[in-house]
Amino acid sequence: GIQVEQSPPDLILQEGANSTLRCNFSDSVNNLQWFHQNPWGQLINLFYIPSGTKQNGRLSATTVATERYSLLYISSSQTTDSGVYFCAAYTSGSRLTFGEGTQLTVNP
């Protein structure tokens, strides 16, 4: 099956810094989502992004499906951005396959 790899596994930032999280996938995908899992364990939808670029406030995402990667940009990070960021790729056969996540810690 498809492999979804995220990097870096861990990231520590000072408040106000910018960051880029990467998601690589091993095969063509039908679609891709980014999630934020907050410290309480809740999974929050960030982006549903098959291709192109989307922006939502300080966050933006870009997916280049032909090159099999997606990027999540966080600008002017805040402590509330802390948590785990997951990408999940859709493949044929109705499977939404998750990467292992990037653990982000934003220090005040």
**Residues of this chain that bind other proteins (CB under 8 A):** 1, 4, 30-31, 33, 35, 41-43, 45, 48, 86, 88, 90-91, 93-101
Q: Which of 21, 47, 19 is nearest to 32 (CA)?
A: 47
Please, which residue, 1 or 57, has the CB nearer to other proteins? 1
Cβ at position 54, least distance to other proteins in Å: 12
Q: Which is nearer to other proteins, 74 or 89 (CB)?
A: 89
Conformational region of residue 79, where left means phi above 0, alpha means psi within -120 to 50, and beta covers everything else: alpha
Q: Minimum Å distance from CB 11 to other proteins?
A: 15
Kindly give the pairing relationship between strand 10-14 and strand 102-107: parallel
Closer CB to other proteins, residue 58 or residue 95? 95
Segment (H or E) for 69: strand 69-74
